[in-house]
Amino acid sequence: MTFNAAALLLLIAGLALIGWLAGRARSNLLAGRTGTKLHSRPQYHGWYVALWLFAPAAIFLAVWSSVSPALITNQVLTSEAAQSLPAFGFERGAILSDARSVAQGDQAAVRLPAAAPLVKPYADASHKYAWIGIAAMLALALAGGLYAFTRIRPDFRARSRVEKIVMLVLLLASLVAILTTFGIVLSLLFESIRFFRLVSPAELLFGTTWAPTSGAPQPDTFGGIPLFWGTVLIGAIIAMIVAIPIGMMTAVYLTQYAAPAVRKWVKPLLEILAGVPTVVYGYFAALTVAPALREFAVMIGIPNASTESALAAGIVMGVMIIPFVSSMADDSINAVPQAMRDGSLALGATPNETIRQVLIPAALPGVMGGILLAVSRAIGETMIVVMAAGLSANMTANPFASVTTVTAQIVKLLTGDQEFDSAKTLAAFALGLVLFIVTLLLNIVALRIVKKYREAYE
Amino acid sequence: MTQEDLTITDPKMKAHGVNVFYGEKQAIKDVSIDVGTDLVTAFIGPSGCGKSTFLRSLNRMNDTVASARVTGQIELDGEDIYAPSMDVVQLRARVGMVFQKPNPFPKSIYDNVGYGPRIHGLAPSKAELDLVVERALVRAGLWDEVKDRLGESGTALSGGQQQRLCIARAIAVDPEVILMDEPCSALDPIATAKIEELIHELRGKYAIVIVTHNMQQAARVSQRTAFFHLGTLVEYGKTTDIFTNPKQERTKDYITGRYG
């Protein structure tokens, strides 16, 4: 007898179903007998019983699954056979886990001879705690179910209770994402703090030489400015020069000129563009755009043009961002009340004048918010720059030269054989933290702008 | 419909046999009406009777509704406004419009009024534009309230001020006709009174057509009243006649509050 959590979960789910039926039947019965009207409809009484039956038992199951292995091991350690185990260390753990595997039937025979006498204590202990767990769980389920069952009265407000529980579940679901974010921030923060013990934050933020792999004779230098510059050049300058005009013009066409049939086709197509995996854009940038740009650069006589260039990565990233900008601009322009458009047209303005002088200025805050969000996406984008921008940390304004970005360097620092506590590896976390903070700030500012703008028209 | 008692010798706009369709649905059926140059003409009738639709066909604002279609003839100074040779942009500069809800642009007060003159090139220099803006605001009775804060946003004004700003905006392009689509329906009684006073002052300078729900308002501000019902023009005549001595049973029922 082992403790199989999945099977037990099914068991209490089955019991909950019975509880549901019983609760419903009882409420019907009571209502029929006393002739009063039920406050809540019968299925709510059913749900009330089912939840009381299921939830405490399921929570116990979760707790017990995580606690019982430790209890089992403790009991095994008190057994006679365990006295001959090594006091601590790798071997002791291996023997215990070997014995546990055999006892639970995961493997046929022991691999380590020392584990053999422990198999029986393990099996005994597992058996014992499994029975305790199952008994306690069933007791809880039945107690919960009975408690709920006895509370059913025609005037019992089962619906409000059930709705409260449903709300609680929804709240927990929404907390998952938030708590995960906190966890991510914390893990980044701890690793970054370890890095900043080795290298000062000032060097990372303001240093102008990035050479983490310079080797023994010279110490590594972690000056982040070349990376930040590369990130800004690609994500915030070149990509936006491509994405903003094209995205805006797309939005203006789609909202103002396109026939409904055209709009019906073009909008989903744009959304598909937004769903293309970034690695595919990366191929396109590295294999098609970058060589073409290099040839062009050589042709117009630009020296030391590289096959990996800021321009190639930036242009392709801009193309990737177009749907993002256009859909934000589309929403903002559509949010401008029709009355504005009518007011302008009624003054004898042409549609063109109306768009340029009334709609776009009115939509501008929303569009700005969208652009900031797009920038924050662009600077966090990794695959395209890894594949097309290169890895040399140049501080150059020449768009045909190779530059590197924060994200590309993070990939470089973390791939390959690395010790996990060297300054080089930890630098990746510090860079990640910087990136996270910058994009977070951009998002906050952007969302505030968008929100303020929404309020203006409500 | 009776034409005998109409003394419009010099109509600004003439509509003849106008039908308006939204898709398959006919919103206006065979309406003929003359709008006098120096008069305020009121369109009254219950909700959904087509009075706003008809008003919007007078400056072709219905063009902005994809499914709308207008047949029949509407003339401005004898010119067919639906003729291919008519430039809708110029038409709307000549036939201005004020909407139900004040809709100032999210620009400064000055730029709101200056918008029309700028796009039509009516005031080439800043000094001239200043003059045009001031004159329009004076005419709209708003100058004294806003002259010290022309740079503030038009949307920051009160509802009544916003509506007068919209009237100033329409006046600034020097139109011949001003169409008002229930201009007071979103305003409080005091702001309404101001707008009505303004309409009195503007009478004679522009041909004014006003759509209103409010029969007292029609009686107060207009010299001619047209009663619409179910897309048809039931009766058109001098405002005093319509309100004191309606010829049609339906008009009488509406005026006396039997329906509507």
- CB nearest A347 (choices: B101, B106, B173): B173
Predicted TM-score (pTM) of the model is 0.71
List of chain B residues whose C-beta atoms are within 8 Å of the C-beta of residue A342: 61, 64, 97, 99, 103
Q: Give the C-alpha separation, B174 to B202, whole Å.
A: 12
Task: For residue A250, give the 3-state DSSP assignment.
Answer: helix
What is the pLDDT, as a whole number, of residue B222? 94
List of chain A residues whose C-beta atoms are within 8 Å of the C-beta of residue B94: 348
What is the pLDDT, as a whole number, of residue A213? 65
- Tell me if B115 and A350 make a contact (CB, 8 A cut-off): no
Q: Give the C-alpha separation, A441 to B97, whole Å.
A: 45
What is the pLDDT, as a whole number, of residue A455? 63
H or E element: which one contains B98?
strand B95-98
Do the bridges between strand B177-181 and strand B95-98 make them parallel or antiparallel, or are there none, so unpaired? parallel
Q: Give the C-alpha separation, A324 to A250, whole Å.
A: 11
- Tell me if A341 and B64 make a contact (CB, 8 A cut-off): yes
Angle in degrees, CA A136, A139, A141, rounded to 5: 110
> Is residue B60 exposed (0-12), middle (13-18) or buried (19+ Cβ within 10 Å)?
buried
Angle in degrees, CA A384, A385, A386, rounded to 5: 95
pLDDT per position in chain A (458 positions), as tens? Answer: 456 788 888 999 999 999 999 998 888 888 888 777 888 888 888 999 999 999 999 999 999 988 888 888 888 888 777 777 776 667 778 888 888 888 877 777 777 777 788 888 888 888 888 889 899 999 999 999 999 999 888 888 888 888 998 999 899 999 998 999 899 889 899 989 988 888 888 888 888 888 876 555 556 788 888 889 989 998 889 999 999 999 999 999 998 888 889 989 988 888 888 888 989 999 999 899 988 888 888 888 877 677 788 888 999 999 999 998 998 889 888 888 888 999 999 999 998 999 999 998 888 888 888 888 889 888 888 888 888 887 778 788 888 888 888 888 888 888 876 666 677 888 888 999 999 999 999 989 888 887 776 666 65
What's the distance, CA B104 to chain centroid? Answer: 16
Q: Which residues pair with B79 in a beta bridge?
A: B76
ipTM (interface pTM)? 0.89
What is the pLDDT, as a whole number, of residue A115? 78
Q: Give the C-alpha separation, A434 to A420, whole Å.
A: 20
What is the pLDDT, as a whole number, of residue B6? 53
* pLDDT tens per residue across span B108-120: 999 999 999 999 9
Q: Give the C-alpha separation, B11 to B37, whole Å.
A: 6
- Tell me if B103 and A339 make a contact (CB, 8 A cut-off): yes
B101 close contact with A: CB closer than 8 A: yes
- d(CA A36, nearest CA chain B) in Å: 47
Of A210, A201, A203, nearest to A231 by C-alpha is A210
Q: Give the C-alpha separation, A29 to A33, whole Å.
A: 6
Report whether A158 contacts A152 (CB < 8 A). yes
- DSSP-derived letter for residue B18 is E
Task: Compute the mean pLDDT over every residue in chain B, rounded to the nearest whole number.
Answer: 90
Q: Which residues pair with B69 in a beta bridge?
A: B21
Q: How confident is the model at residue B2 (pLDDT cuts 50, 70, 90)?
A: very low
- CB nearest A343 (choices: B94, B99, B173): B99
